[in-house]
Homo-oligomer: A and B are copies of this chain.
Amino acid sequence: MKTTIGVIGATGYAGAELVRILAGHPDVALTTITSRQYQGTAISDLYPALRGVVDLVCETYDPAATLERAEVWFLALPHKLPMALVPDMLAAGKKVIDLSADFRFRNQAAYEAHYQPHSAADLLPRAVYGLCEVYAEKIRNADLIGNPGCYPTSVLLPLVPLVKNGLIDPATLIADAKSGVSGAGRGASLTTHFCQVSESFKAYKVAAHRHNPEMEEVLGDQAGKPVHITFVPHLVPMSRGMQTTQYTSLTAGVGEGDLRACLQAYYKESAFVRLLPPGQAADSASVRGTNFCDIGLVVDEHTGRVILLSAIDNLVKGAAGQAVQNMNLMLGLDETAGLLGVPYPV
């Protein structure tokens, strides 16, 4: 008997990607999708690629009528909305994976400084940060996941093992991140207009991005002390994908071999982290449509810095794919179930 699944907010890019993955997942049954804006509309009318493949129709989320239709609920909503829905879901014994920022923080003050007052702060200690490769054990026992942002995922996966093991100096963290346009969401805006994006490359929210505290909480947790990171996101004229280049100083005596050994050991059981051989840079195109995170590294001998290069698909490992990976862990399924289709070569 397959586990029943619902997706709230199924029509944004992350929601539709959840629908894609869950509809093809061998061990679960997607029974319900909801949308305030598109109630009554078939998802395949919004995303014609799905015509004849996924025939679900968007409903309004109404706990009385809808909640019992699924054992696991994914929320792909703007932050602030999930905190109003999650308490009832947990009270009804559901498992919840929230893709917004609402349950990513242990530190209520940090959340409230960057977002707004939290109406379900009592649940924060119960929520687990869903960075699967780092917190798998906690995730297996959780019923509430704060699914990581795309930027934090691409920054943290290369960084966590090195910080945890003291190979790099946490006072020197700099992350230069680049995202495809789908990261800005499906809402129409001048920012995402084809003519504004084409032939444009630029930074935005320089050193002021909301993802900073999310990264710093995890890094502080790993370092055992407060950590600051300089983080600058950029917008790339492409639909999907994210590449991050990080610059940090090595601890005295550490060489490239130590770094590679550390990452290899940390990720030796991880199906979705691919450590690249020397000379290969992580390319967003190589992880497009997949749940992989590719990681490369180069030591700049002149300066004693390591350059860490990582690539993910912002909608998959950076959102819907990692959310399903969290679900797999929570349900005791194979961590990779539904997530290992053969990637497109181009």
Chain A residues 180 to 201 lying within 8 A of chain B, measured CB to CB, are: 180-182, 186, 188-190, 192-201
Asked if A258 lies at the interface with its beta carbon under 8 angstroms from chain B, I say no
Query: How many Å from the CB of A195 to the closest CB on chain B?
Result: 5
> In the complex, what distance in Å separates the CA atom of A283 from the CA atom of B199?
9
Query: How many Å from the CB of A181 to the closest CB on chain B?
Result: 4
Chain A 278-305 per-residue mask, 1 if CB under 8 angstroms from chain B, else 0: 0011111111111010101011101101
Q: Is the CB of B288 within 8 A of A236?
A: no
Contacts of A20 in B (CB 8 A): 342-345
Q: Is the CB of B201 within 8 A of A284?
A: yes
Asked if A130 lies at the interface with its beta carbon under 8 angstroms from chain B, I say no
Q: Is the CB of A300 within 8 A of B207?
A: yes
Contacts of A247 in B (CB 8 A): 174, 176, 230, 247
Nearest B residue to A25, CB-CB: B342
Q: Is the CB of B243 within 8 A of A202?
A: yes
Given the known A-B contacts A300-B207, A303-B228, are A274 and B343 also in contact in the complex, defined by CB atoms under 8 Å? Answer: no
Q: Is the CB of A239 within 8 A of B309?
A: no
Q: Which of B48, B186, B193, B238 contacts A286 (CB 8 A)?
A: B48
Asked if A162 lies at the interface with its beta carbon under 8 angstroms from chain B, I say no
Nearest B residue to A309, CB-CB: B203
Asked if A234 lies at the interface with its beta carbon under 8 angstroms from chain B, I say yes
Contacts of A23 in B (CB 8 A): 342
Q: Is the CB of A200 within 8 A of B285?
A: yes
Asked if A241 lies at the interface with its beta carbon under 8 angstroms from chain B, I say yes
Interface size class of A (residues with CB under 8 A): 35 or more
Nearest B residue to A287, CB-CB: B49
Q: Which of B53, B188, B303 contacts A230 (CB 8 A)?
A: B303
Asked if A24 lies at the interface with its beta carbon under 8 angstroms from chain B, I say yes
Query: How many Å from the CB of A249 to the closest CB on chain B?
Result: 9
> In the complex, what distance in Å separates the CA atom of A192 from the CA atom of B196?
10
Q: Is the CB of B346 within 8 A of A16?
A: yes
Closest 7 CB pairs of A and B: A200-B285, A16-B345, A202-B283, A49-B343, A47-B345, A188-B188, A48-B286
CB pairs A–B below 8 angstroms (26 shown):
A13-B346, A16-B345, A17-B345, A20-B343, A20-B344, A48-B283, A49-B286, A51-B274, A53-B340, A180-B201, A186-B190, A188-B189, A193-B193, A194-B197, A195-B346, A198-B238, A199-B239, A199-B240, A200-B283, A200-B284, A200-B285, A202-B283, A203-B307, A207-B298, A228-B302, A234-B243
Extra 15 A-B pairs, beta carbons < 8 Å, given A13-B345, A49-B285: A13-B195, A19-B345, A20-B344, A51-B274, A54-B342, A181-B195, A186-B190, A188-B190, A192-B194, A200-B285, A201-B236, A203-B281, A206-B307, A208-B298, A228-B303
